[in-house]
């Protein structure tokens, strides 16, 4: 007797869709165009640097239409589109747009999870607003609020579904300014219009594995049995997750815990000179320490990674018995690792990461040895000044000559850092009320 196609009896999730995925399209470039009307309608890109080999981080909608893609070099972008205007990042603008974006979403529901600086997921399952308005009406309202509160040039994709995955899929159907709803009634129709690589989470490696078992389209993927996905294709519980995900069931409902803090810097001028690298390392330690303390944590592990001009790399990490809270503590351990490099080479990329985190409310007694208390209090005082008057208003003497060498940057996936900043800003507002 043949095994049933749906042995779990799940079927399609027929619940009302209450999950919304909202994505600000071409965020960095759109913010620049909003700030400067002379840039509107022109192909522009935001790149790490304005040098030919620098990578394009965010092409505008007009640049995308001309064939410019994320990850291209500026030189290649200008070959494709000679009119391309390259801008360097202006992080304060993007953070401001993110804060406004979060304020809009949280005026509708308190269940908002930022996924990156330009996208978020909102859960309306317990929101009273659904008694008065439909999800589609709320989506259209949010799109208008973004134009009203952030700027008329901002375009937003809204996707609505029964799970985070289906909502994200819906948000990608009609860029750059779409609003789509996926339910049990149209989910199979959506699969028929897409390729496997169009599905969020399917890489070329996944595609190859699926093809091996006769799965060539999203429709094939949907109709594949649980046994095929779990026992053959993915050979793990991942197959079960995909089986449920494809039917509109929520498989991502968890709260992540922060495990690391870190910063990376791609050197504008590569060097092997220790006298130049050490101050850069100090600035990365200061940026990392600021985030660590803002989050109310301390660390017991540190990792240093270097990428060299010859495309080789070296990295080393260590756990320590004491704790790292002040920038000086992090820098001291970073230098210990830095000095263990087996070869002196030209460095192109530096990364510092701290891990093994714990809440600073429970700092061990060893941290309050003679001299330690002053370091902790001084770190807090420095942070308060820099929070109020701007980054690096006060800084270690080691960094005096490199204030602008490592520019302010925002990672696309830096949602946790932005959430920390959002919480901090709101606490400051409430203190002043």
- Measure the CA–CA gap between 375 and 386, rounded to whole angstroms: 16
Q: Tell the burial category of 391 from Cβ atoms under 10 Å away from its Cβ (0-12, 13-18, 19+).
A: middle
Contact 194, 56 (CB under 8 A): no
Residues of the chain with pLDDT under 50: 1-5, 254-255, 364-373, 385, 389, 392-393, 427-433
Q: Are residues 94 and 31 in contact, defined by beta-carbon separation less than 8 angstroms?
A: yes
pLDDT for 260-307, tens place per residue?
Answer: 888 888 887 889 999 889 888 988 888 888 888 887 788 899 999 999
The answer to whether position 432 is within a domain reads no
Are residues 264 and 398 both part of a single domain? Answer: yes
pLDDT, tens digit, for every residue of 301-360?
999 999 998 889 899 999 988 888 888 889 999 999 999 999 889 998 899 999 888 876
Q: Are residues 276 and 211 in the same domain?
A: no
Residues 297 and 196 in one domain: no
**Residue 105 included in any domain:** no
Determine, yes or no, domain membership for 107: no
Any domain includes 343:
yes
SS3 call for 374 = helix
Same domain, 209 and 329: no
384 & 307 share domain = yes
- Residue 92 has a pLDDT of 86
CA-based Rg of the chain, rounded to a whole angstrom?
A: 24
Q: What's the burial of 304, exposed, middle or buried (CB within 10 Å: 0-12/13-18/19+)?
A: buried
Full domain range(s) for residue 237: 188-245
On whether residue 295 sits in a domain, the answer given is: yes
What CATH number does residue 44 fall under?
3.40.1170.60
**Number of domains the chain contains:** 3
Together in a domain, 346 and 264: yes
Residue 52, domain member (yes or no): yes
């Amino acid at each position: 007797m043949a095994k049933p196609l749906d042995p779990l009896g799940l079927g399609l999730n027929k619940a009302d869709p209450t999950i919304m995925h909202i994505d600000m399209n071409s965020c960095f470039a759109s913010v620049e165009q909003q700030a400067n009307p002379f840039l509107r309608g022109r192909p522009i890109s935001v790149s790490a640097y304005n040098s030919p080999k620098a990578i394009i981080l965010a092409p505008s909608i007009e640049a995308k239409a001309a064939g410019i893609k994320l990850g291209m070099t500026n030189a290649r972008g200008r070959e494709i589109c000679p009119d391309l205007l390259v801008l360097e990042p202006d992080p304060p603008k993007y953070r401001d747009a993110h804060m406004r974006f979060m304020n809009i979403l949280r005026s509708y529901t308190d269940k908002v999870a930022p996924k990156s600086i330009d996208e978020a997921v909102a859960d309306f399952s317990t929101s009273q607003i659904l008694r008065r308005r439909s999800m589609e009406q709320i989506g259209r309202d949010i799109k208008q609020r973004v134009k009203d509160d952030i700027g008329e040039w901002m375009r937003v994709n809204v996707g609505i579904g029964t799970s985070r995955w289906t909502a994200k899929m819906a948000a990608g159907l009609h860029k750059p300014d779409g609003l789509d709803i996926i339910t049990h009634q149209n989910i199979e129709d959506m699969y028929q219009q897409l390729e496997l690589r169009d599905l969020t989470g399917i890489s070329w490696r996944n595609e190859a594995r699926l093809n091996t078992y006769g799965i060539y389209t999203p429709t094939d993927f949907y109709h594949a049995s649980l046994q095929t996905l779990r026992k053959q294709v993915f050979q793990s519980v991942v197959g079960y997750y995909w089986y449920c995900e494809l039917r509109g069931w929520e498989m991502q409902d968890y709260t992540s815990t922060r495990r690391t803090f870190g910063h990376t810097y791609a050197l504008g001028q590569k060097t092997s000179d220790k006298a130049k690298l050490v101050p850069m390392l100090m600035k990365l330690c200061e940026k990392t320490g600021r985030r660590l303390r803002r989050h109310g944590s301390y660390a017991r592990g540190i990792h240093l990674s270097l990428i060299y001009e010859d495309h080789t790399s070296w990295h080393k990490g260590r756990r320590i018995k004491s704790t790292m809270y002040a920038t000086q503590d992090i820098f001291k351990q970073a230098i210990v690792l830095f000095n263990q490099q087996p070869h002196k080479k030209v460095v192109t990329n530096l990364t510092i990461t701290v891990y093994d985190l714990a809440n600073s409310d429970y700092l061990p007694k060893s941290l309050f040895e003679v001299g330690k208390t002053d370091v902790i209090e001084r770190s807090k005082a420095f942070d308060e000044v820099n929070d109020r008057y701007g980054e690096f208003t006060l800084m270690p003497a080691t960094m005096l000559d490199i204030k602008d060498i490592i520019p302010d940057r925002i990672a696309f996936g830096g949602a946790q850092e932005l959430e920390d900043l959002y919480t901090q800003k709101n606490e400051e507002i409430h203190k002043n009320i």
